[in-house]
A and B are shown apart, each in its own frame.
Chain A
Amino acid sequence: MENLVDKQLLFENFSGRSTPLRKQQIEDWLGDPANVERYYEWLDEWEKTNSLFTPDTTTALNNIADHQTSAQSQTTPKRPKTLFRFRLIAAVIATLTLAAATYALKDLLLYRSMSTAYGETRSVVLPDGSLISLNANTMVRYSRFGFGENNRDVYLSGEADFTVTHNGSRPFTVTTDKDLKVLVLGTRFTVYTRGEKATVVLREGKVELRYTEENKEKQLLLQPGDLFTAHKGAKTRLQRIANPENLSAWKDHEFLFDATSLSELAGMIRDNFGLSVHFDNPSLSERSISGSFHADTAAELLDVIAQLLNIHYTIREGTVYFSE
Chain B
Amino acid sequence: MKEPKQSSGNNPLRIAVDKDANDQALLMDNETFIRIMLKDDPDKGFAVLFKKYYGPLCSHATRFVYSKEIAQDIVSEVFLNFWNKQLYETVTSTFRAYLYTAVRNSAYNHLKQEFGEKLTTSPEPVEDANPQSILLLGELMTKIERTIETFPPQCQKVFLLSRFEGRKNREIADELQIRPKTVEAHMMKALSILKKTLSDYLK
Contact = CB atoms under 8 A, between A and B. Distances in A.
Interface string B60-76: 10110000100110011
Given A274-B15, A297-B13, A318-B14, A44 B59 contact: no
B81 to A, nearest CB: 11
B17 A61 contact: no
A67 B76 CA distance: 10
Nearest to A53: B68
B3 A57 contact: no
B50 A47 contact: no
Interface string A77-103: 000001001100110010001000000
Interface stretch (A3-11, A186-194, A229-237): A3-11
A313 interface: yes
Nearest to B131: A30
A245 to B, nearest CB: 22
Contact of A93 (B48, B83, B94): B48
Contacts of B7: 316
Contacts of B188: none
A21 interface: no
Contacts of B129: 36
A297 B13 CA distance: 9
Contact of A16 (B5, B53, B68, B145): B145
A86 B63 contact: no
Contacts of A64: 50, 76, 79-80, 83
A39 interface: yes
Contacts of A33: 128
Contact of A53 (B3, B4, B57, B59): B59
Interface stretch (B105-113, B115-123, B132-140): B132-140
A48 interface: yes
Nearest to B3: A314
A208 interface: no
Contacts of B43: 71, 82, 85-86, 89
Interface string B140-152: 0110011000000
A61 B10 contact: no
Given A6-B14, A26-B135, A44-B100, A89 B83 contact: no
Contacts, number: 173
B86 A71 contact: yes
A50 to B, nearest CB: 8
Given A16-B146, A41-B27, A54-B55, A90 B8 contact: no
Interface in A1-53: 2, 4-8, 13-16, 23, 26-31, 33, 36-37, 39-41, 43-44, 47-48, 50-53
Contact of A8 (B4, B13, B54): B13
B96 interface: yes
A63 B73 CA distance: 11
B54 A60 contact: yes
B25 interface: no
Interface string B86-99: 10000001101100
B127 to A, nearest CB: 12
A32 to B, nearest CB: 9
B50 to A, nearest CB: 5
Contacts of A316: 4, 7-8, 12
A44 B50 contact: no
A299 B13 contact: yes
B125 interface: no
B56 A40 contact: no
A199 to B, nearest CB: 24
Contacts of A30: 131, 134-135
A31 B51 CA distance: 31
16 contacts: A6-B12, A8-B15, A23-B135, A44-B96, A44-B100, A47-B60, A53-B59, A53-B68, A69-B84, A71-B86, A90-B51, A93-B48, A273-B13, A315-B13, A316-B8, A318-B16
Q: Which 5 A-B pairs have the closest CB atoms?
A: A16-B142, A30-B131, A47-B56, A71-B42, A274-B15
